[in-house]
Structure 1
Amino acid sequence: MPLHVLILAAGEGKRLRSAQPKLLHLCSGLPLLVHAVRAACELDADSVHVVVGPKDEALRTALANYPVAFAVQDRASGTADAVAAGCASLESSSGTLLVLNGDCPGVLASTLRAFIATSADIDATVLSVRPDGRNDYGRLLRDGDGRLVGIVEASDAMPDQDTSPEVCAGVYCFNLEVLSGALGKVDTDNIQNERYLTRVFATLSASGATVCAIPHGDAAELHGVNSRAELARAEAFLRLRKLTCLMESGVTVRDPATTYVDVDVSVGMDSTLYPGTILEGSTVIGTGCVIHSGVRVTDSQIGNCVTIFDGTIIEGSCVEAEAALGPYARLRPGSEIGACVKIGNFVETKASRLGAGSKAGHLTYLGDAHIGENVNIGAGTITCNYDGTKKYKTVIDDGAFIGSNTALVAPVRVGKNAYVAAGSTITKDVPDGDLALGRGRQVNKAEWAKKKD
């Protein structure tokens, strides 16, 4: 039987109080909607449709790389209308229809797969959970024999209905042909004056169709996000799931409560993450690495056995094996750090390559530079790469030695095994093996201190 998936994403998300669409808010490194779409795309469904509003171009852009189609809900008139808009976009009027909300970042494909399997031969099913504390989810109504006879929204529930501990998790499975006949019967007799999808369960139950609630043990996995507090809760849930997976794969996390790792980050076995570590985006950390406190790595590739000391910031960079970075270093986008390189405290690199074994120990700026192997960069060295209009490249060949407090005015090249004296301003190329001095000659005034008065 064909399987179709509808992801509801047309809601306005007003409770989040944001100019940005709710479903584009980041949660563990990805927009909320992308989490749900990824889970759906793992199901090998015949189609995955995302129901959006008429002005939701930003959502379409965010999903440009995913194999989904879009259906448009012309006006925000309730989830039943959203599902009707989605069904109208399907190429088939039969099969199984899985419906889930786009603001459920924790849902797993394995949960959806098991739910679909359990729902086989049932006309309408809903995943139910028993969350701790008060919540705004629809209450499940059962008859005296325990059979599901309807779902009522929390805002419309009567006092005796509001006490039900079992609630709707916002994930549904329908026989598409049966659902199509019931959608048109959904009314707007509720506080919000909207057509709720949950109303079809009472309609179907009364008509003799088979309806069922399938319990799910992990309520946190299916929590939706409607406020900033719920966004923080969802991120904490995903973070703990990710850190648990890393620890089970052989990564030491010294303090999971203060360690932040996005869902797409990879960390190799025998690496150690100290408290306060932040790993973001598509970052890859190799095996045997040590990441100290206060380090933030974004969209970067870190090789094996790299040590990153406290307070170091790395963005869009590549670091090869056995390098040592920091403390308080900054690698800006386009930095390529070779094997066994040492980047010390308060060193900044940008769009630069440092070859294997090179060192920049202190207080240095290296921008738009190509630095060979086994080069020593003295403290206080800067590459003067910008003339106010254009940027220029500095090349330092293998084995060169750059003395402290040197200014290299690009475009300029320092040759192989060449030396630059401390305090120099270098404006011309330095040939291989030469010593360059570009500073004023020192003059000592004898007994000047006595004579100045």
Structure 2
Amino acid sequence: MAHAVVVLAAGLGTRMKSKLPKVLHPLLGKPLVGYCIDTAFASGADRVVVVVGHGAEQVRQTFEGYPNLSFVVQEQQLGTAHALAQARPILKDFQGPIVVTQGDTPLTRKETLVGLVNALHEQAAGMAMLTMKLDDPTGYGRILRDESGNILANVEHKDATPEQRAIKEINPGVYCFDGSLWEKLKQVDNHNAAGEYYLPDLIRIYHEAGQKVASMESKDTGELLGVNSRAQLAEVERVLLQRLRDHWMTQGVRMIQPETIYLEPTVELAPDVTLWPGVILRGQTRLGDGVEVGAYAVLRDTTVEAGGIIRSHTVCEEAYVSTGADAGPFARLRPKAYLEEGAHVGNFVELKNAHLGKKAKAGHLAYLGDAEVGEESNIGAGVITANYDGQRKHKTTIGKRVFVGSNSVLIAPVTLADGSFVAGGSGINQDVPEDALAIARERQRNIEGYMKRKRDEGK
């Protein structure tokens, strides 16, 4: 049976000490609540409703465009039952089961949500809930059962007696309800220590209505890890990172000191990729067969084809590196940097909107911006394409098998034709014809005895 999911994400998150709404804090490049939304849809939900509070408009804008996703606002923080009630206008005509999850538990698995829906159906229950046993249940609501093992109630930690606090089975706050939910929510009161409307009160209300309350125990205590502080965010991120590392290593990726590797769920890695310590892979980065990424390299939205090499301490952003090409160490490939097969970019070379042809080389200490470099051309140390005149960008076009000597400035717009040669130290502001030698520098003049006379004057 099709189901809907309500994600409760209206908490203020004051312990995060941040202006950013808690549910938007990034977790491996994706907002925290985004994991909960994706899990809800992955479970087969027809509709997903997110209950938000602080920063509601910012949250809504972040997920704009998601199909079958709605947002409602809990203006006052009056408890979890009050938060759920805000979703009624959207789901009051929905006929299937309604699953409720927490927006700060990004590790919850889709199998858990599916399991609760199945338990509700298979046990003909009005309500199903997840339970979990913890060695230290401090802070969680405790599950109270009768002698037959049926759930009788949930008691919040602050309302529990010493005997009840000794119970290890807790309520992590994940539920599934039948279609009578909205009527039963009206019966929840706030007669408790916090003066709030608690969702677990529905256990008693369903019992009194003669409907069964089913339960499903989660054996994975990590999946309900909540995020209420920076430290907890880091702990959840650690778990997610380990899952990703394990996944890619089972797919044939070699990670040297895997605990130092950072990568995001959007990254794609082929077999025999090698990642040295400290590598950071972000966004839509894709690495082909046998790619090697050196220590402390950072790649974002970058493609490296099979056999490409990114050496240590290189930074790549929206770049493309073809088969057999390499960059670094200490290179920077900025957006629209493109290395064709066998191209080489060495240490302290920066590329931006620059295309290097097959086997073209820029060995060290160069800046190539808004440039087209033909195959087998060689760019010397200290070469700069002066592409910006203070108002507009201009293009430098370098043909095939061109040699640009060290410490030259190519003042765009300018074209160096195939086979041309630029003498070192030249400032080039005119096109260079095919196979021509261009020299643009002050003629050297030696003044004999100059320094000896200066020393003599100082005596």
**TM-score, structure 1 normalization:** 0.95
- SS of the equivalent of 2:389 reads coil
Contact 2:7 2:50 in 1 (8 A): yes
The reply to whether residue 173 of structure 1 matches residue 162 of structure 2 is no
Alignment of 1:195-210 (within 5 A): 195-210=197-212
Contact 2:144 2:151 in 1 (8 A): yes
The reply to whether residue 373 of structure 1 matches residue 375 of structure 2 is yes
Per-residue Cα deviation, 1:384-422 (whole angstroms, up to 9, x for no partner): 112222222111122211111111111111111111111
Aligned to 1:47: 47
Per-residue Cα deviation, 1:285-342 (whole angstroms, up to 9, x for no partner): 1111111111111122221111111111111222222211111111112212222111
Aligned to 2:93: 92
Per-residue Cα deviation, 1:98-134 (whole angstroms, up to 9, x for no partner): 1111112112223322332233222111112234545
Aligned to 2:420: 418
- SS of the equivalent of 2:164 reads coil
- SS of the equivalent of 2:86 reads helix
Measure, in 2, the Cα distance between the counterparts of 1:359 and 1:422: 16
- Kindly provide the amino acid, as one letter, of the partner of residue 411 in structure 2: V
2:322 to 301, 320, 325: 320
Pairwise CA RMSD of aligned residues?
1.8
- Kindly provide the amino acid, as one letter, of the partner of residue 15 in structure 1: R
Aligned to 2:265: 263
Measure, in 2, the Cα distance between the counterparts of 1:190 and 1:447: 98
Aligned to 1:76: 77
The reply to whether residue 161 of structure 1 matches residue 167 of structure 2 is no
Aligned to 1:146: 149
- Kindly provide the amino acid, as one letter, of the partner of residue 97 in structure 2: T
Per-residue Cα deviation, 1:81-103 (whole angstroms, up to 9, x for no partner): 12111122115253201111111
Alignment of 1:387-426 (within 5 A): 387-426=389-428
Q: 1:441: Cα distance to partner? A: 1.2
1:126 to 119, 129, 140: 129
Aligned to 1:57: 57
Q: 1:182 to 1:399 in 2, by over 3 A?
A: same
Per-residue Cα deviation, 1:115-155 (whole angstroms, up to 9, x for no partner): 32233222111112234545533222222332211222333
The reply to whether residue 332 of structure 1 matches residue 334 of structure 2 is yes
Alignment of 1:334-349 (within 5 A): 334-349=336-351
- SS of the equivalent of 1:370 reads strand
Measure, in 2, the Cα distance between the counterparts of 1:135 and 1:393: 65
Gaps of at least 5 residues in structure 1 are none
Contact 2:136 2:168 in 1 (8 A): no
Alignment of 1:350-365 (within 5 A): 350-365=352-367
2:239 to 237, 240, 247: 237
Stretch moving more, 215-224 or 82-91: 82-91
Aligned to 1:306: 308
Per-residue Cα deviation, 1:4-35 (whole angstroms, up to 9, x for no partner): 11111222222212100001100111000111
Per-residue Cα deviation, 1:153-184 (whole angstroms, up to 9, x for no partner): 3333332222222222222111122x223211
Contact 2:137 2:169 in 1 (8 A): no
Q: 1:290 to 1:135 in 2, by over 3 A?
A: farther
Measure, in 2, the Cα distance between the counterparts of 1:374 and 1:192: 74
Stretch moving more, 430-439 or 111-120: 111-120
Stretch moving more, 125-134 or 241-250: 125-134
Measure, in 2, the Cα distance between the counterparts of 1:129 and 1:417: 73
- SS of the equivalent of 1:351 reads strand
Contact 1:274 1:293 in 2 (8 A): yes
Stretch moving more, 129-138 or 414-423: 129-138
- SS of the equivalent of 2:410 reads strand
Contact 1:131 1:220 in 2 (8 A): no
Q: 1:402 to 1:132 in 2, by over 3 A?
A: farther
Measure, in 2, the Cα distance between the counterparts of 1:156 and 1:417: 84
Q: 1:446: Cα distance to partner? A: 3.1
Aligned to 1:254: 256
The reply to whether residue 137 of structure 1 matches residue 140 of structure 2 is yes
Q: 1:262: Cα distance to partner? A: 0.8
Measure, in 2, the Cα distance between the counterparts of 1:154 and 1:385: 66
The reply to whether residue 22 of structure 1 matches residue 22 of structure 2 is yes
- Kindly provide the amino acid, as one letter, of the partner of residue 334 in structure 2: R
Contact 1:27 1:105 in 2 (8 A): no
The reply to whether residue 297 of structure 1 matches residue 299 of structure 2 is yes
- Kindly provide the amino acid, as one letter, of the partner of residue 95 in structure 1: G
Contact 1:150 1:205 in 2 (8 A): no
Contact 1:420 1:435 in 2 (8 A): yes
Q: 1:283: Cα distance to partner? A: 1.3
Measure, in 2, the Cα distance between the counterparts of 1:357 and 1:99: 57
Aligned to 1:3: 3
Contact 1:169 1:223 in 2 (8 A): no
Measure, in 1, the Cα distance between the counterparts of 2:319 and 2:135: 43
Q: 1:422 to 1:156 in 2, by over 3 A?
A: farther
Q: 1:74 to 1:394 in 2, by over 3 A?
A: same
Measure, in 2, the Cα distance between the counterparts of 1:307 and 1:135: 50
Gaps of at least 5 residues in structure 2 are none
Measure, in 2, the Cα distance between the counterparts of 1:388 and 1:251: 46
- Kindly provide the amino acid, as one letter, of the partner of residue 66 in structure 1: Y
Q: 1:45: Cα distance to partner? A: 2.2
Per-residue Cα deviation, 1:327-369 (whole angstroms, up to 9, x for no partner): 1111112212222111111111112111221111111111121
Measure, in 2, the Cα distance between the counterparts of 1:105 and 1:36: 5
Measure, in 2, the Cα distance between the counterparts of 1:377 and 1:192: 71
**TM-score, structure 2 normalization:** 0.94
Identity %: 40
Contact 1:383 1:394 in 2 (8 A): yes
Contact 2:226 2:232 in 1 (8 A): yes
Contact 2:11 2:54 in 1 (8 A): no
